[in-house]
Amino acid sequence: MRDYGKPLPELGLAKTWVPPFKLSMPAERVDPVTYEIVRHRLWYAGMTIGETLRKVSGTIVVSEAQDFSTFITLADGAPAFLGPYVLLHAGIASLIIDGTLKVMTQNDKIKPGDMYFLNDPWMGVVHQPDCAVISPFFVGKELIAWCGVVVHQLDMGGVDPGGVSPHAKDAYGEPTIYPAVRIVERGRMRSDIDRLLRRNSRLPDILALDVRSMIAANRAAQNQMTEVVKRYGVSTVQTVMSKMLWDSYMAFAERLDSLARGTFRARDFFEGGGYLPEHADELYEVDLAVTNDGERLHFDFSGTSPQANGFVNCGFGGALGGILGALLPVLAPDIPWNGGILARLEITSQEGTINNPIWPAAVSGGVTEGSISTGTVTAGALGHMIQCSPAASAKLPPPSGSVFMGSTFGGVDVEGKFWGTLIMDPIGMAANASSNADGVDLCGSGAIPFTRFANVESAEHSYPMLYLYRRMGRDAFGYGRHCGGRAIEFAFKIHDVDFAALLLWCHGAEFPNVIGMSGGGPSSAARFGITGDTDIEKLWASAQLPTSDDFDFQALVAKKELFLTPDDVIVFTIPGGGGYGDPLSRDPQLVAEDTISGKLSPKLASDWFGVVVTQEGTVDLEATKRQREQLCLRRLQEAKVVGNKNEIKDASFTNPKSKGAPVLNIGDGLSIKLQPDTETLVWACQKCGFQYGPIEDNPFYHAALRHGHINELGHPMGQMVHLDQPRFIMREFFCPNCALRIALDIARPDIDPVIHAAQLDEGWVMEHFVSKVATLKAPAITTTTDGVR
């Protein structure tokens, strides 16, 4: 474990990764009209790949869940076009092409008419069910470009059905790995490889169908590329692709330049390494420090847990996918997504860690574990960076970490046939709140732009299940001045069959994963629950349909295998988004509305927001004022301080009050001020001016700190692994003077140091804010502030 206030320790086996391609400004100039015409044409060519895939495959994974991605790259793997599907896959285009180029030898070269099939997590794919087919595009003998698709497969073998293997200890127990095999040679599909693929899947025909659709999609892409090259010429097409990359590269540089310089940190945990007894107690940590130097983002994962002996690791492609899934929608919502953005990233990571494991680590659950957790820390660190960037924060969406509640549900139907599926409803995720709005309800995963869950009727039509309700979770979102968005909660039972198996996996069940910003509360936890004690049939007979409030669910641990009988009712509560700002600053009227609509319980309205709502649903203003004062008082009474050596001690605050006007406001709670007497920069409370300490310090070390039981959050939660002793506490950080909350984090008691979330580059602050204030606002400051004092 590393002290975040100190310089980085020796990295040991850590390596720094840069993209395996080089970008340069296109040497040739294409006139703007031709550029726009060819660019648009290539874009539609890329879209044709997705449409062909959808058309030929027609499976639910491709057509309904859109769990696939498409790309067109330059010869070296620089992706000029990324389809707007699953970003987790799309980011890895360059890795799998680079990986394929590297395994080819002098005697076995890439040839025109070849296509390669691969699902090797050590060649870039996120986990084994994500299968890629890529094809080189030649003009004459010259390799010009690559086209490709990645499609999730329902079964590629392994110890558990469905491709995700919670029972595995290593990759040998997981789906079979194909490290770039030639599926098409000289334009023809190889029947031996086809046989090999079928033989290793529980659903050989569907796999065969999808492999054919992937080949058809590559052919469609090759045809379109051929037509474009024929019409506009090779060099024009290459130049246009290079310029597409270069434009995004330059636009992303401008974006980075508009963001705060410094190092920004976040930490995430996930519990449970699999279904085996030795997995039960496991707890893993992903640590990230992102440094923005104005031109590049450097990601450092030092401190991340060693690899697990279960399915939760993710290959390096998963880490990259996690980063891009969180980064692109937040830092580049308005920049075309392609390798130009990738080219400004550097990643330092130790081999043998949970998101950069060494063969033969088990990785089949990596997509929802290691990779998503990597996305969560990325979102957290970028969130701090954006908060410190006044120029950018207003126009960028709030970063949202996430959890995907995975499941494989299957059994044998009345005709004796095997059935199985993934339950896709958990894609009904929510977004974090931002400085100017509540988080968006049900926006779906950030890493998958267009997502939607299936109709209840479609699910009940295809599988022997019956939904009891599907609603947004009550109290299941982060509390703040702006509240996190709400996610889906649904309950179902089996129907028409006597028995079914349900494999469940997620993380963040006994603690929330997604932190709130600027003093906002965290997301809720992920909850799997079950109850067998229902009188459904009796209630139905008397024309009563029980729904959410009528069940008393017993919470489950994050990773659990269940065998369901018709009496069992299962619930999934997907975590809502994190909050923004101190909940005591939320407009009481909005809190009252939240209680009327059923979004928030009246008790939590009072406990967390300090708002007292009358029977009629109006705000009791007097009682609210009293309650809020009471809560502030309690905050300070119970608080301790972290102190410079990270030792918690009783609070005694003797810091002088800060002077002058803020040069930079950070979120709701903090500001940076220039102290006129010492000409140094300090952290100060935005509300009362309390001085936390010099800019190089972590302001949280100087804040009042209160430890709280995780259950205080009031969210629906999963089961604690150790029932009597939660492994996590909630830590609240307040202004010791006015009790304004500036942060809330989740940590293991006595183990986890307080994170130095925003370590700002002092020179950047001086240059960008102080000099401006001095020249523009200096007279104003002297007359108003100093004059009054």
Which residues, numbered 419-438, are part of the site for another protein (CB under 8 A)?
427-428, 431
233 binds another protein (CB under 8 A): no
Within 10 angstroms of residue 783's Cβ, the number of other Cβ atoms is 10
Name the residue nearer to another protein (CB basis): 55 or 707.
55
Pick between residue 536 and residue 639 the one whose CB is nearest to another protein.
536
Q: Residues 112 to 141: which contact another protein by CB under 8 A? A: none
Which residue of 145, 150, 221, 468 would you call a contact of another protein, by CB under 8 A? Answer: 468
Which residues make Cβ contacts (< 8 Å) with residue 708, sequence separation at least 6? 729, 730, 731, 732
Strands in 729-734's sheet, in edge-to-edge order, are 649-650, 640-641, 704-709, 729-734, 741-747
Residue choice 6, 22, 141, 461 for contact with another protein (CB under 8 A): 461
* Alpha carbons within 13 A on the beta-carbon side of 533: 6
Among 4, 26, 52, 746, binds another protein (CB under 8 A): 52
What is the 8-class DSSP label of residue 238? H
What is the smallest separation between the CB atom of 493 and another protein, expressed in angstroms? 11
- 657: exposed, middle or buried (Cβ count in 10 Å: 0-12, 13-18, 19+): exposed
**3-class secondary-structure state, position 785:** helix
Give the nearest distance from C-beta 187 to another protein in angstroms. 15
Q: How far is the CB of 205 from another protein (least distance, A)?
A: 5
499 is a contact residue toward another protein (CB under 8 A): no
Q: How far is the CB of 453 from another protein (least distance, A)?
A: 5
Distance CA 497, CA 415 (A): 10
Interface positions, 479-498, toward another protein (CB under 8 A): 488, 495
Is there binding between residue 84 and another protein (CB under 8 A)? yes
The least CB distance from residue 360 to another protein, in Å, is: 32
Strand order across the 500-505 sheet: 418-421, 406-412, 500-505, 559-564
Q: Is 36 a residue that touches another protein (CB under 8 A)? A: yes
N residues, the chain: 789
Nearer to another protein, 304 or 451 (CB): 451
Q: Between residues 124 and 339, which has the closer beta carbon with respect to another protein? A: 339
Nearer to another protein, 400 or 658 (CB): 400
- The answer to whether residue 253 forms part of the interface with another protein (CB under 8 A) is no
Q: How far is the CB of 465 from another protein (least distance, A)?
A: 10
For residue 272, give the 3-state DSSP assignment. Answer: coil
> Of 57 and 236, which CB lies nearer to another protein in the complex structure?
57
Q: CB under 8 A: which stretch of 95-103, 540-548, 747-755, 780-788 binds another protein? A: 540-548
Helix (H) or strand (E) holding 409: strand 406-412
How many residues in the shown chain lie near another protein by CB under 8 A? Answer: 82
**Footprint of another protein on 437-456 (CB under 8 A):** 439-440, 442-444, 446, 449-456
Residue 213 touches another protein, criterion: CB under 8 A: yes
Query: Within 71-175, where are the H helices?
Result: 87-90, 93-103
Among 25, 27, 414, 543, binds another protein (CB under 8 A): 543
> Applying CB under 8 A, does 471 fall inside the site for another protein?
yes
**Interaction between residue 553 and another protein (CB under 8 A):** no
Compute the distance between CA of residue 322 and CA of residue 344 in angstroms, rounded to an integer: 16
Q: Which two tokens stand for residue 528?
A: 């799997």
Q: What is the closest distance, in whole angstroms, from the C-beta atom of residue 752 to another protein in the complex?
A: 30
Minimum distance of another protein from residue 91's CB (angstroms): 14
For residues 127 and 249, give the distance between their C-alpha atoms in angstroms, rounded to a whole number: 28
3-class DSSP state of 193: helix
Cis peptide before 360 (omega within 30 of 0): yes
Composition of the chain by helix, strand, coil, percent to 5: 30, 25, 45
Sole window of 260-268, 396-404, 705-713, 737-745 interacting with another protein (rule: CB under 8 A): 396-404
Q: Which two tokens stand for residue 730?
A: 């909630």
Alpha helices per DSSP H over 468-560: 536-541
State which of positions 630-669 bind another protein (CB under 8 A).
Answer: none
Q: Judged by CB under 8 A, does residue 621 bind another protein?
A: no
Listed residue (128, 145, 115, 131) closest to 215, CA to CA = 115
Cβ–Cβ under 8 Å, residues 417 and 437: no
Record the tokens describing residue 420, joined without a space: 């199985």
CA dist., res. 513 & res. 434, Å (int): 17
Give the whole-angstrom CA distance, residue 59 versus residue 131.
15
Sign of the torsion angle spanned by Cα atoms 700, 705, 708, 713 = negative
Contact between 280 and another protein per CB under 8 A? no
The minimum distance between CB 442 and another protein, in angstroms, equals: 5
**Is position 523 an interface residue for another protein (rule: CB under 8 A)?**
no
Radius of gyration of the chain measured on its C-alpha atoms = 27
CB of 126 to another protein, least distance (A): 21
Phi first, then psi: what are they for 427, rounded to 5°? -70, -10
Options 539-547, 601-609, 618-626, 731-739: segment touching another protein (CB under 8 A): 539-547
Of 597, 617, 594, nearest to 605 (Cα)? 594
Q: Phi and psi of 495, rounded to 5°? A: -145, 135
Those residues whose C-beta lies under 8 Å from the C-beta of residue 488, and which sit 6 or more positions away, are: 425, 426, 428, 429, 442, 453, 470, 471, 472, 473, 572, 574
Q: What are phi and psi of 143, to 5 degrees?
A: -75, 120
Q: Among 210-218, 272-280, 708-716, 755-763, which window interacts with another protein (CB under 8 A)?
A: 210-218
Cα of first residue to Cα of last residue in the chain, in angstroms, is 46
Q: Cβ of residue 431: shortest distance to another protein, in angstroms?
A: 5
Q: Closer to another protein at the Cβ: 27 or 33? A: 33
Residue type, 592: A
Minimum separation from the CB atom of position 24 to another protein (A)? 17
The reply on whether position 108 binds another protein by CB under 8 A is: no
Q: Which is nearer to another protein, 36 or 498 (CB)?
A: 36
Q: Distance between CA atoms of 292 and 298, rounded to whole angstroms?
A: 7
Question: Quick check: 25 binds another protein (CB under 8 A)?
Answer: no
How far apart, in whole angstroms, are the C-alpha atoms of residue 518 and residue 424? 32
Interior CA angle at 357 toward 352 and 363, to 5°? 150
- Shortest distance in whole angstroms from residue 478 CB to another protein: 15
Q: Are 349 and 14 in contact (CB under 8 A)?
A: yes
Nearer to another protein, 52 or 350 (CB): 52
Given 170, 194, 247, 257, the residue binding another protein (CB under 8 A): 247
From 112, 294, 352, 397, residue interacting with another protein (rule: CB under 8 A)? 397
- Binding test (CB under 8 A) with another protein, winner from 172, 499, 540, 563: 540
Binding piece for another protein, criterion CB under 8 A, among 206-214, 284-292, 650-658, 661-669: 206-214
| Among the residue ranges 12-20, 40-48, 168-176, 697-705, the one whose residues contact another protein (CB under 8 A) | 40-48
Residues 311-370 binding another protein (CB under 8 A) are 328-329, 332-334, 337
**Counting contacts by CB under 8 A, is residue 216 touching another protein?**
yes
